Structure 1
Amino acid sequence: MTIRTVTPVADAPWLIVGAGALGQLFSASLARHYPVILLGRQSAPPAIRLRTSEGMDHQVTLRRERLSDWAAERSRNEPPALVVLATKSHDTQAALDALMPRLTPTTPLLLLQNGFQVQPRISEHWAGPVLCASTTEAAYRPLLDPESELYSTRPDVVHAAAGETWIGDLDDRHPTLAAAVAECLGKAGMTATPCLDIRQRLWQKLAVNAVINPLTASHRIRNGDLAGPEFRPRIVALVAEIGRIMQAEGIQPPATGWQALIEGVIEATAANHSSMLQDVLAGRPTERGAILGPLIDAGLRHRLDTPEIIALYQATPH
């Protein structure tokens, strides 16, 4: 499927699957400009209470449904213009399988997952265009006791820090679609760029996540705490193994090197709770396999020793 105009939506809705922090952030941003349907596991009121990165609260009205209800309603003919899969990596294939009976085989997909597991798998098997996104947008869902007097006024999602989103497909076959989706995100107030090196972007983000997410989740600390001297030897050892894997995979290091990249992200996101730590605190399964699994697999494939990565995998909550 190709996009005939500069935007991938006219009357057809964007279908956003996954009501986690990123799913709600993208939904709330896009719904002010485009028709959006947000699918989640649970029923929810037709609105999202968004706290912006500037600290302003907005209530955004949009259509929300349970994924199971939308997938089961076969009588309606409402093909989406684009399906944004914003689920956790381990839930993505099951969500897509549930949607399949109501999607045309050429429906474009946009994958927002961490790691590098579901992206190549879905790109290979889905008949339509599959775009992948690498984003530095930071968002979280506040955790409050339902008995708290603040519970009724809490935002559904907090946009902790504005970032940038890169969009492309693994075979560089759909640059027009990537540009159109990026333009839509830009009109919705998000910084988005189409790119022809999304594989490079995904692996670079994986390198960062593989250090920050498991360590913060294991120690239950904020990102900035990793700058302490007690963590430096382990981070240096992890980065050395990651760097060798990236070289074997043909992934170019940033100009300043892998160590400087990861240290820079730790500093820039010092106050943030990583997504994996958020999962641990909320009692949800983590993306340990999606983030560390591709590195372990690549190490085996290239016959590289990765004792630090394996030890981190074993110590990380799952």
Structure 2
Amino acid sequence: MTTQLNDSSMNIAILGYGAIGGLVASQCHKLGYTYQILLRTPEELTLEIQDIELQLNHIQPNTSLIDDPQPFDLLILPIKAYQILPALKSIKRNIKPYQTIVLLHNGMGCIEQVKQLLPDNPCIAATTSYGAYKPDANTIKQTGLGETHLGWINTSQSVQKAKIETILSNLLPPVFWHPDISLALWKKLTVNAVINPLTATLNIKNGELAKPNYANQIKDIITETHAVIQSLEYSISFDELSSLVKNVIDKTADNYSSMHQDIHHKRRTEIEFINGYIVNKANELGLQVPQNEKLLKQVQQLEMR
């Protein structure tokens, strides 16, 4: 029997407290939403969050164990792409069919995995250009305002779409809802496919990519990715993709990319869900993407070291 969502309140669960997860928790706290952070081990948590105006906020979020969560209606996963499936498998026995899953990560490929694992759950794909990092375990520094794009990829008649959309629209504004989120995800993937592996392999900040000596390689990556997008019959021009990449490079010039930081701190990267996803799609479509293949191998080699 499917339980209906409570009209008077909606409970939010956030998996982990990474940089973006911390920002989501901070906004929930500010707005007075009922929320919990799901953890693998018991911990009394205090987060220090520095916003874009350098104001410090301290929050003590409600926490639960991932194996024994408090009741929730929305489950937000602001984690690495490769963590999505293992995390959902570990919490699957506590997930009810009426609960909405929100995927908030870089890269592509997880949607297919989640649909297979939880075919009956309402699901939303989201991508954000907010910038944040963690100088230590319990501190989050916001480095850039962004925008967030969301779209339903699976829904049901019982889900309170309007209420959920209102809540999510308040978390990382401005928010844009799409009838088909796929093109927005491909746009973000194109940006990530350029900035992340190049900054990681070259050991540079994002802004360095604006130098002329990187122009040809950037153009080749975008050309290959654009060919894949066109073959999938999404309508966007090469110039629009190029402008989008240039704009993000300029806006985040002083930042290190997430992949650069992963390599620097000897963590696994999301390369398989970024350039690796482009390579896989290109193979399915019979297209050649040598620049993306090269970057995939280079980052994988760095990971092995």
Taking structure 1 as the reference length, the TM-score comes to 0.85
Aligned equivalent of 1:21: 19
Which of 122, 125, 135 does residue 142 from structure 1 map onto? 135
CA–CA distance in 1 between the matches of 2:209 and 2:40? Answer: 34
Whether the aligned pair in 1 keeps the contact of 2:48 and 2:58 (CA below 8 Å) is yes
- Cα drift, residue 255 of structure 1: 8.5
Aligned to 2:200: 217
Segment drifting more, 200-209 vs 119-128: 119-128
d(CA) in 1 for partners of 2:80 and 2:286?
29
1:47/1:179 CA distance change after superposition, 3 Å: farther
Separation in structure 2 between the aligned mates of residue 3 and residue 160 of structure 1, nearest angstrom: 39
Determine whether 1:116 maps to 2:99: no
2:271 maps to: 288
* 1:1-318 equivalence runs, <5 A: 10=9, 13-32=11-30, 33-41=32-40, 43-65=42-64, 69-71=65-67, 73=68, 78-126=70-118, 127-143=120-136, 156-170=139-153, 179-188=162-171, 190-253=173-236, 256-316=239-299, 317-318=302-303
2:200 alignment partner AA: A
Aligned residues: 298
What is the CA distance between 1:260 and its match in structure 2? Answer: 1.7
Judging changes above 3 Å, is the alpha-carbon distance between structure 1 residues 303 and 237 closer, same or farther for their aligned structure 2 residues?
same
**Contact 1:81 1:108 (C-alpha < 8 Å) held by counterparts:** yes
Of residues 37-46 and 209-218 in structure 1, the stretch that sits farther from structure 2 once superposed is: 37-46
Equivalent pairs: percent with the same residue? 26
Deviations 1:64-103 (A, max 9, x none): 34xxx431x3xx7x32111111221111111111111222
Contact preservation (8 Å) 2:123, 2:155: no
Q: Indicate the SS of the match to 2:212.
A: coil
Q: 1:199 to 1:54 in 2, by over 3 A?
A: same
Partner of 1:150: none
Per-residue CA deviation, residues 2-24 of structure 1 (Å, 9 max, x unaligned), is 9878x8x71x5311113211111
Tell me the CA shift for residue 312 of structure 1. 0.8
Amino acid at match of 1:28: S
Moved more, 38-47 or 282-291: 38-47
Going from structure 1 to structure 2, the CA distance change for 1:265 and 1:41 (only over 3 Å counts) comes to same
Deviant stretches of 4+, over 6 Å: 1-5
Deviations 1:238-266 (A, max 9, x none): 11111111111122225942222211111
Structure 2 gaps, min length 5 = none
Q: CA RMSD in A?
A: 2.6
SS of the residue 2:86 aligns to? helix
Q: Where in structure 1 are there 5+ consecutive unaligned residues?
A: 145-154
Residues 86-144 of structure 1 deviation map (CA, whole Å, 9 limit, x = unaligned): 22111111111111122213321000021111112213441110111011111111159
Q: TM-score, normalised by structure 2?
A: 0.88
